[in-house]
Structure 1
């Protein structure tokens, strides 16, 4: 009889792009989301929690990867329907707004927080599962709703610990960008183009290549990453990226590409000057001028509320990549420097973005339902706070009550109960108590601030030993022997004063 092969052991390894999050990371995210929710709630927005699964039909064409329609999501077939994990929190909102339109107030203001999933290649800082935090107003076509989102985003960044001056919210309008496209020749010069009426009559439409407006928008959206020269190359013949790979250009004529750059670089000393610059550049386009008027009103409304250009600016270089935006678009950028993996200084960059999307709900209702909103990249915002030193990568652990005598376990449990009743995070050591050194190593691994020690002698005397683990570690690292004697890190206190002394030590640790 052939020997049966052993089943291989499964690999203890998470799939690529699906990170695991541990204690401090989860706690810090929860605390940050609570601060964000408090701001949203103060602005009158209600919480909404939708299913993690939507139908592919409901997600529609607005998928993250325009080159692979319906391939940017994790999808499966069930009872002849295709279902998918949500790739953002906006598409589910559009479905909710249509499904419950007779029950919801109009405008409907909601915020949502949770994980989203994208079926795309993972890489450094690029995950397939990540958290988003959105706020949207559905049912208002007023640019006052856009201005409110920008003001709320400003308040949110400051509430979580980003100082004024360390961020800027940049605002543009897709109507202005559409006006730019209106003023461009659409034919692509890669092929010979007809110069006379006779040539044009002899030219088939299939012989003419066209510049894609979406391709132009996607290209100028790279302005922050590749600069003006890079955009100029990508709009025309193409360029090599950092890896040496060649990226084909859109195929515009150099003169037309430079005209596009004029818009990108038309930001002035203040919002009023920027708006005047835009008016002079786009006076040929009705839709473009409409977009400039809306930007002017947004700037006016924000200024009236005290949100000046130190926080929110009109910036024509903002595009936003997703194709469903129809009006104002905005992006929150952190302006302070951090170091990249090679130690080079760089700006931290964008942590939030959004805009107006008046056609998204229309897919369900066949009626235009105006909407505007913003999405915060939660993990990027957490990384920014850590980079600024506003958030430690390790959270303080619990007070550990060590076990010196197994037979006194009930007494140790009484101690920990008293600490918890006083609001102190605490636990009894539940491992093998035989080696006391291992208990202190455990407390150190847990980043515990204090250890409680009580054996037979302490119980007989009615005292406990309280060890300040934070101070002890600092003394061991920095102090001389004399300083060690002058600064005790362990205290013997009466048993009934245990909670008071622990709280005093914790308060002293900050």
Structure 2
């Protein structure tokens, strides 16, 4: 009788494009989410949590990677034949929520949401298929004052989380202006919006890659196409040289002041009502921000911003970090974008048949955390718990009583639960946990009614830098009455802070 084939063991690897997050990273993210939520809340926005799974129909097809067969989402078919997918952002679910509960929600509805999103895209360095976003949106406000407010709030948020003025800029544009330029260039017909839709999609993606590809790369994508260094060819929009130059002129329209940029854009959209409306909106946004004290050192009008998602209909904005970091090859480069958003007046209309104005912003938390690490504003370690060591297995109740007292006093603490036979391993464990203090009570300490409290932070510093005399002057281990355990531990922790 043949033996059953032994099943191979599963590989312990993370799926491609995903990663695991450990203690300090999770703690840093939670702290940043609280800071961002504080700003959003101060501006009057209310929290909302939506399902991680939506119907494919509700999500719509708005991702820029339109050439992929699955449209960039993780989707599957349910038993009742409905297709569902993991959300690729937090905005499409908001449109569904507002359409579903619009009779119960205030108008305008101001909400913020935070959580992971998933995109079935090609992963790369620093680019994952699951990442966190923090969104804030206003639904039901047609005035561009809502857009100006979002830009101001984005600026405030960056400064609150630790990006100082001068290290970032919020760049603002308007898709109506770009549509006006494409109308002038002959790739948008106001009477037939579906005409040239593929070409416009390529133009949008090309402009959005200006920082990465440069003007020559964008010009190639506006024309016949571009071959990258690996030999892969990307088909272009097929614009004539004259049409391409009109689009390139739009990207080069930024001037030294917002007023000068607006004047240049008005020249470029001459003859297009849509384009002229967009310029007027940009002018209003600039005036509103200036009245609040948000100058060009924080927010600027920049025609090169287009945003890749296909649902934007008006003002769009992007927060870019302007300081330099070193890439994986040691070359200096600017950190780049950490946030973006815009107006999407047609998204709710897909559900209701009626136009509902909306605008919002999304912050990429993981990228923002990476930026703070690159600037040295986040430490790589976090303080661990106080460790109560175990000298006698039979006295586990005594040690649990100690740790309970520490916890009840608001001090993070744990009892060592490994094999207590080797005391040195217990201290190694405390080091691996980055513990600030170790508590020791052997049989003799129990009889004497005392405990030994070891300042692990000071002990490590003395061991590395101090002479023997300094060691004697600065003890890192203290013997105190058992009743003073909590008070002494708190004193040591306060000194370390």
Shared fold (TM-score, shorter chain, > 0.5):
yes
- Structure 2 residue 355 is matched with structure 1 residue 355: no
Two-structure CA RMSD over aligned residues (Å): 2.0
Aligned counterpart, 2:25: 25
- Structure 2 residue 72 is matched with structure 1 residue 72: yes
Aligned counterpart, 1:51: 51
Give the C-alpha shift of residue 255 in structure 1: 3.5
> 1-side partners of 2:343 and 2:397: how far apart?
61
Aligned counterpart, 1:279: 266
Using the TM superposition, name which of 406-415 and 396-405 deviates more. Answer: 406-415
CA contact (8 A) 1:235 1:252 kept: yes
Aligned counterpart, 1:376: 363
Using the TM superposition, name which of 473-482 and 15-24 deviates more. Answer: 473-482
> 1-side partners of 2:119 and 2:490: how far apart?
46
Equivalent of residue 215 in structure 1, options 167, 179, 202? 202
Using the TM superposition, name which of 230-239 and 386-395 deviates more. Answer: 230-239
CA contact (8 A) 2:251 2:303 kept: yes
Q: Across the two proteins, how many residue pairs are aligned to each other?
A: 490
CA contact (8 A) 1:172 1:330 kept: yes
Residues 1-43 of structure 1 show CA distances to partners (whole Å, capped at 9, x for unaligned) of: 2222222222222222232211111111111111111111111
Aligned counterpart, 1:110: 111
Question: What aligned pairs does 1:120-135 form with structure 2 within 5 A after superposition?
Answer: 120-135=121-136
> 2-side partners of 1:139 and 1:211: how far apart?
30
Aligned counterpart, 2:100: 99
Equivalent of residue 434 in structure 2, options 436, 439, 447? 447
- Structure 2 residue 294 is matched with structure 1 residue 307: yes
> 2-side partners of 1:247 and 1:101: how far apart?
42
Aligned counterpart, 1:490: 477
Using the TM superposition, name which of 96-105 and 13-22 deviates more. Answer: 13-22
> 2-side partners of 1:396 and 1:89: how far apart?
33
- Unaligned 5+ runs, structure 1: 188-207
Give the C-alpha shift of residue 211 in structure 1: 7.9
- Unaligned 5+ runs, structure 2: 189-194
Residue aligned with 1:212, SS: helix
Residue aligned with 2:377, SS: coil
CA contact (8 A) 1:274 1:314 kept: yes
- Indicate how the Cα distance of structure 1 residues 161 and 186 shifts in structure 2: closer, same or farther if over 3 A, else same: closer
Aligned counterpart, 1:241: 228
CA contact (8 A) 2:203 2:221 kept: no
Residue aligned with 2:337, SS: strand
Using the TM superposition, name which of 176-185 and 263-272 deviates more. Answer: 263-272
Using the TM superposition, name which of 303-312 and 483-492 deviates more. Answer: 483-492
CA contact (8 A) 2:55 2:82 kept: yes
Aligned counterpart, 2:169: 168
Aligned counterpart, 2:192: none
Aligned counterpart, 1:198: none
Give the C-alpha shift of residue 279 in structure 1: 2.0
Equivalent of residue 380 in structure 2, options 393, 409, 414? 393
Give the C-alpha shift of residue 435 in structure 1: 0.5
Using the TM superposition, name which of 144-153 and 54-63 deviates more. Answer: 54-63
CA contact (8 A) 1:283 1:289 kept: yes
Residue aligned with 1:126, SS: coil
TM-score by length of structure 2 reads 0.94
- Indicate how the Cα distance of structure 1 residues 355 and 430 shifts in structure 2: closer, same or farther if over 3 A, else same: same
- Indicate how the Cα distance of structure 1 residues 326 and 71 shifts in structure 2: closer, same or farther if over 3 A, else same: closer
CA contact (8 A) 1:116 1:132 kept: yes
Give the C-alpha shift of residue 293 in structure 1: 0.8
> 2-side partners of 1:255 and 1:72: how far apart?
33
Give the C-alpha shift of residue 69 in structure 1: 5.8
Aligned counterpart, 2:352: 365
